[in-house]
Amino acid sequence: MKKRNIVFEIAYEGTRYSGWQRQGNTDKTVSGRIEEALRQLYGDESQEEIELAGAGRTDAGVHAMCQVANVRLHCEDAPERIREKLNAILPTDIRILRCYEADDRFHARLKATGKVYEYVIVTGPVEDLWLRNRAWQMKDEPDVAAMRAAAELLIGEHDYLGFSSLKASKKSTVRRVDSIEIRKQERPEGGSILRLTFTGTGFLYHMVRILVGTLLEVARHERSVEDAARALETLDRADAGPAAPAMGLYLVKVIY
């Protein structure tokens, strides 16, 4: 039986996991849990190692509304049945949203042309109980107008090395950020929920979190609007803000 190229769209809450990518020193990764479930269902002596190819790696504590991954399987089940079986044995903080078969050429990472990330910030005198592991919570209200003005300077095609945790890279660190949208929703108990949505061709290691940290420095008047983009010129990590906590970040969509 020929191997089939099976594609999954996956949602997960990353709180309990050491990121997406399987690691040798821990079994607490999202891809590791899914691969183990696939081995339980479809593994046999004749089948090679089952390994998911994800569209991108999310860090420890980061969530996904729709991660995409593909795997090659010897399997006769219909995609809907594969999804049903997986969701029956996976932890409840990992869900297979959709499952379908693709042609042999499809690769979740190599075929991706862009990604959408969202970062959630909660402000106000009372923390949001339901978002305690899924948002950056703070008491003070940031200057959203200043944040939006600074975000405009960070959009475009640039070398974002200074906005990443990479020490150096043999590969290009040029990326295109198409938009940074900042939406504000008032909370009945005071304060607000801010959602920062980043759309681009791709993002470097910790890049979105560092962009958020830089924008928050501007919003707190710890950095000028004009200074927000200094790291684009110097490529120096020291010229950007701190990385925002992982718990507020979501992979929303992979673009093909």
Q: What is the Cα–Cα distance from 144 to 225, expressed in whole angstroms?
A: 12
Q: What is the Cα–Cα distance from 157 to 201, expressed in whole angstroms?
A: 9
Phi, psi of 13 (to 5 degrees): -95, 120
Q: Are 66 and 97 in contact (CB under 8 A)?
A: yes
Annotated catalytic residue within 27, 44, 59, 178: 59
Structure tokens, 182: 């900042």
Residue 27 falls in the annotated catalytic set = no
| Cα distances (angstroms) measured from residue 147 to each of 97, 150, 184, 190, 221 | 34, 5, 12, 20, 10
Enumerate the active-site residues. 59
